[in-house]
Amino acid sequence: MECHQLVEKITSRIKIGYSRTLSYAGRLQIITAILFCLYNFWEAVFILPRSVLKEVDKQWRDYLWGNKEDGRKIALVSWDKVCVPKKYGGLNIKNCAKWNMASVGKLIWQLTMKQVTLWIRWVHGLCMKDSEDFWSHTPPQDSSWYWRKSNSLKAEMTHWYHNGRYWLTPNGKYSVSSSYQALLNNVQRWKEADLVWSSLLFPRNMFLLWLASRKRLLTKERLGRLQIQIDSTMCELCYDLKEETQRHLFYECGWTTELRDKLETWSGIKIEGKEVLQSIRWIKRRH
């Protein structure tokens, strides 16, 4: 199959017009619920060429951040940070290249464990002449692209094995998620994740809270910094002639301060913190 046809197959659903009018949270749900199923299928079966992985990533990225200002798509958070699980601060979208490697790793694991499947028997009989160990095997120059590519992934995959046994799961059974996690570099647990992604909130609120906690809300000040043409970067809620920054909107703006004071009086709870993340931490400490 031609590469562009494969990209088309994987990404065709995001070109459906209605989904482009959704909010960030809506688009995220489309990506995780629909596209991922398709993508999961293609990735589990094939090692995808780098150009395909790059193009699919790009189309997903453009789709997620699809709001156009001045004809540009504004990525509010870098794709690397988006492509990690929510408990590590991301949106749990899979990085194509890493997920593909983790998925194909299952075939390699089956090969290593000499499991009886048609593909394994074919590989052992045709490519490895039945006698060799996969880890010490060197693919001949005239072998297929797929076989050479499978072997080129060995260097990364050997870290998942100890004395020939897959050690990322307690029972030694292969797990695509565990392998994927091993491929994510230096991700740290995000302590506030369970509060931001709380089941008590609507998806749209969760997404905005996630953006705010990363200081990535699309405020006027940020639009100005991204050199998007706007009439003014001043806050329109108050008469203080202050720039519309995230900090101003949440903590300094006269309009919001008045509203917050009324809410605090009404509820009898005074929320501390000078930034969104500080306030979230304060709420977390009280639970």
Sites of contact with Zn ion (CB under 5 A): 235, 237-238, 253
**CB closer to Zn ion, 112 vs 219:** 219
118: its two tokens: 């048609």
**CB closer to Zn ion, 94 vs 220:** 220
- In single-letter form, the type of residue at position 103 comes to S
| 8 Å CB contact between 83 and 60 | no
Q: Report in angstroms how near the CB of residue 242 gets to Zn ion at its nearest.
A: 6
| 8 Å CB contact between 124 and 134 | no
**CB closer to Zn ion, 11 vs 246:** 246
**CB closer to Zn ion, 8 vs 252:** 252
Please list, in sequence order, all residues whose beta carbon lies within 8 angstroms of the beta carbon of residue 122, skipping any fewer than 6 positions away.
none
Q: Report in angstroms how near the CB of residue 279 gets to Zn ion at its nearest.
A: 18
**CB closer to Zn ion, 43 vs 244:** 244
Beta bridge partners of residue 234, listed in sequence order: 243
**CB closer to Zn ion, 31 vs 235:** 235
End-to-end C-alpha distance for the chain, whole angstroms: 54
C-alpha closest to that of 101 among 179, 159, 23: 179
| 8 Å CB contact between 73 and 67 | yes
Q: Report in angstroms how near the CB of residue 224 gets to Zn ion at its nearest.
A: 16
Q: Report in angstroms how near the CB of residue 218 gets to Zn ion at its nearest.
A: 16
Q: Report in angstroms how near the CB of residue 283 gets to Zn ion at its nearest.
A: 24
Instruction: Calculate the alpha carbon distances from 63 to 39, 54, 68, 73, 80 in Å.
Output: 15, 14, 11, 9, 16
Q: Report in angstroms how near the CB of residue 245 gets to Zn ion at its nearest.
A: 10
* Token pair 């693919």: residue: 139
